Structure 1
Amino acid sequence: MLDLTWAFFAIAGPAAIFAGISKGGFGSGAAFAASSILALVVEPGLALGVMLPLLMLVDVATLRPYWRKWHWPTARLMILGGVPGVAIGAAFYAQSNPDVLRVLIGVISIGFVIWQLGRSRGWIRIAASALPRWAGGLAGTVAGFTSFVSHAGGPPAAVYLLSLKTTKTEYQANTVLIFTAINIAKFVPYAFLGMFTAETGLANLALAPFALLGAWIGVKMHFMVPERIFFALTYVLLTVTGTKLIWDGLT
């Protein structure tokens, strides 16, 4: 049951803005922080159900600024890999309970922070040359799975996309197209698994302006703000929420 209280919207509103900013300007990698934040106050399945239509709305809003700036062979490869990943994620979700999902979302949140810090410190190095095409398909499958269970498909997709040494805008355009397709693929199994309710629909209507505002801000920030400033805030949010979710899931 999702209680649409002022306390819920006080958390969900900023979370929706944050998701829009991430998807609109910073490669979608941190958009799943919104789901992690919501999972602190509602059952994880409902948090995912609230966020998916909002993420799809942001997908539509951000397609135009990056239209045809993507590399279609790369995006197609990862989309084809992402579809079976979504199916695996649906099967996993159907067998899991909320505490398992809390721990998994928490682990993915903390793992994202470690991975990003490792990259920035040089502990984790992206391949000097482009990874082979089969790695792109595999990255798409992992992205489809993590996207289904926590909306966290960005990091596995980034491993392959960053190895291609594309421009910032082509990288962003690739992620917009890839996750537009993956989110569409997620919608039907989400519905069958009962992750959409009348309450999540009302929440979507109320939160849509926040998500669109975030997308507009994100597109503007893409061309103006260094990524390190945005991700510094992301690391703090994900460390706190990830730790709390793991604690709640285990206790």
Structure 2
Amino acid sequence: MPDTLTLAFFAAAIPAVSLVGLSKGGLGGAISLLGMPLLSLVVDPVRAAAIFLPILIVMDIVALWSWRHYNDRKTLLMILPGGVIGIALGWATSAYVSDDALRLVIASATILFTVRYFWQVYGPHSKIPTAPLPHRPAAATFWGALSGYASFVAHAGGPPFQIYVLPMRLDPKSYTGASIRFFAIVNAVKVIPYFMLGALDQENLTISASLLPVALISTMLGAAIVKHLNSEVFYPMTYALAFLAGLKLLWDGLPF
């Protein structure tokens, strides 16, 4: 049994995995960003990322089953190529690009994006209707690549994905189905470089296995909750969680 499996470890790891599981079930992808910082309180960040990856893949399997009847195929096909490009760039350059710099870029974009949404919905011109945005191939590739890159280096790909997809105002179930499929594929692709980097060793896999029951229960719970939310509740909640995630990333990226 790894020495890491102490009471202090589980005190941080169980809430971390629970938050990510609720997110994987569909309850606001932004809350998953809190998982890595929590787990990093008891193990170093690189090891935390390695421990999380097998858990994320199991969560993906549960979420894919829970949301198997919902998807937006065009959205998935538009943004997925950029996601794969981002993973490749992360593998090739993560040793040279500061994690803090990446956090600051994503945080700034996410905060501006969410503030703009709340200004449009609740500001002085909120009565003026705005049309959902259409698909934009260049934007899909850019935000998909940033999502794949952030997912590779820090499991933080949610906000860039939301920046591209949320303004299209998909049906909440279709949005969640597309999001789950996108990150399931991204996480599966990440296994190859993680193995080649030696991060998925026996000890880390044993630790991941000890947390799987928490992962399964929290993912199913998240899916059950979201399926009962309508768009009037789902979208403000998701934007608010994205804003909080942006603040968290900004805090993590600042040099102090």
TM-score (norm 2): 0.81
Report which of the two structures shows the higher radius of gyration computed on alpha carbons: 2
Q: 1:201 aligns with which of 198, 205, 226?
A: 205
Are positions 1:148 and 2:152 aligned together?
A: yes
C-alpha root-mean-square deviation of aligned residues, in Å? 3.2
Q: 1:25 to 1:159 in 2, by over 3 A?
A: same
What's the secondary structure of 1:94's corresponding residue?
A: coil
Greater displacement, 112-121 / 203-212: 112-121
Are positions 1:185 and 2:186 aligned together?
A: no
CA distance in 1, matches of 2:95, 2:120: 38
CA distance in 1, matches of 2:11, 2:148: 30
Q: 1:26 to 1:44 in 2, by over 3 A?
A: same
Seq. identity, %: 28
Counterparts of 1:1-251 in structure 2 under 5 Å?
Answer: 3-26=4-27, 28-95=29-96, 100-101=98-99, 104-105=102-103, 108=106, 112=110, 115-122=113-120, 128-224=132-228, 226-227=233-234, 239=247, 243=251, 245-246=252-253, 250=255
CA distance in 1, matches of 2:161, 2:245: 21
Instruction: Using the TM superposition, give the Cα deviation of residue 36 of structure 1 relative to its aligned residue in structure 2, in angstroms.
Output: 2.4
Q: Which amino acid aligns with 1:5?
A: T
Greater displacement, 229-238 / 212-221: 229-238
Does the 8 Å contact 1:36/1:109 carry over to 2? no
Q: 1:110 to 1:144 in 2, by over 3 A?
A: same
Q: Would you say how many aligned residue pairs link Structure 1 and Structure 2?
A: 245
CA distance in 2, matches of 1:145, 1:11: 26
What's the secondary structure of 1:41's corresponding residue?
A: coil
Does the 8 Å contact 1:30/1:154 carry over to 2? no
CA distance in 1, matches of 2:196, 2:166: 35
Deviations 1:35-72 (A, max 9, x none): 12222332211111111111111110011222142122
Instruction: Using the TM superposition, give the Cα deviation of residue 94 of structure 1 relative to its aligned residue in structure 2, in angstroms.
Output: 3.1
Does the 8 Å contact 1:44/1:101 carry over to 2? no
Instruction: Using the TM superposition, give the Cα deviation of residue 87 of structure 1 relative to its aligned residue in structure 2, in angstroms.
Output: 0.7
TM-score (norm 1): 0.82
What's the secondary structure of 1:25's corresponding residue?
A: coil
CA distance in 2, matches of 1:149, 1:34: 14
Where in structure 1 are there 5+ consecutive unaligned residues?
none
Deviations 1:55-106 (A, max 9, x none): 111110011222142122221222122111101111222336xxx4367557
